[in-house]
Amino acid sequence: MLRKNPRRVFDFDQALVRAPGRSVVNGIRFDPKIQPTFEGVAREHQAYVAALRDAGLAVEVLPALEAWPDSVFVEDPALVFPEGAILLRPGARSRLGESDEMRDALARHFDCVLELGGDEHADGGDVLVTQEIVFIGVSRRTSRKGAEALREKLHAFGRQARIVEPPSSCLHFKTAAGLLSEDTIVATAPMADSGIFAGLRILSVPEGEEAAANLLRVNDFVFVGECYPRTIELLAKEGFAIVPLPVDEIAKLDAGLSCMSLRWRKRA
């Protein structure tokens, strides 16, 4: 039986992150001419971990994996909930080994760890958890077969899931949308116009700050890229407690704030 979530889905007390390796400069990105620096990514990651701890989370930092340049983005190879975890199968071939590297860490924290099959590809960046529905976006990294398999795994956790097709310009579903409150989504204009979030309130990010849609609600705080002043102003006027964070270097890797942690609340 599907159940209603008794807590807000952005209430967390635990997090898993992974330190970036020096190989992070070789991570996947749309424009290979834009080169991040290891030092810059490391600084932004440290600020991010500090913000999670300041928000009240116990954070376990996993060691860097030099063999997997994108492994700092731990949200793509796994999903976590109070009920358990799901090991995913990233859609980029160069990231397939990351799931295996997450298995032991998840087993330390969860009694139940489910896994997708070998040809069921899904990235956590395509999964947006809201109070009532888990949205799974089909993308270049998440196949229809992978989305359908993931929907079944979520059903086993008592979660209702809906498979959607975001605008084709999105690398990941959450590139263009983030959960702000129980009933409010922050989204780019194309995502807002897609009809995916019918019934929910939508705040559109200002033109030119589209990447700010990949924000992160953590307990009573909203993490936002500090380089998006108009979005920060918009959210502050809505009454949210904003935590501006540096994202210039991780943005060069086509990533955002939701990518760098797995977050959950321990079951009582």
- Alpha-carbon span 49 to 234, nearest angstrom: 25
Residue tagged active-site, from 109, 112, 172, 227: 172
- List helix spans (H) across the chain: 38-54, 98-109, 144-156, 189-192, 229-237, 248-251
121 is catalytic: no
242, containing H or E segment: strand 241-245
- Alpha-carbon span 224 to 192, nearest angstrom: 19
| Joined tokens for residue 90 | 């990233």
Pairing label, strands 134-137, 262-264? unpaired
Paired strand residues for 221 = 218, 241
DSSP state of 129: E
Other C-beta atoms closer than 10 Å to the C-beta of 200 total 18
Nearest one of 114, 87, 90 to 102, comparing CA atoms: 87
172 is catalytic: yes
Q: What is the 3-state secondary structure (H, E, C) of 185-228?
A: EEECHHHHCCCCCCCCEEEECCCCCHHHHCCEEECCEEEEECCC
Nearest one of 63, 71, 80 to 14, comparing CA atoms: 80
Q: How many residues does the chain have?
A: 268
Residue tagged active-site, from 45, 121, 170, 259: 259
Please list the active-site residues. 172, 259
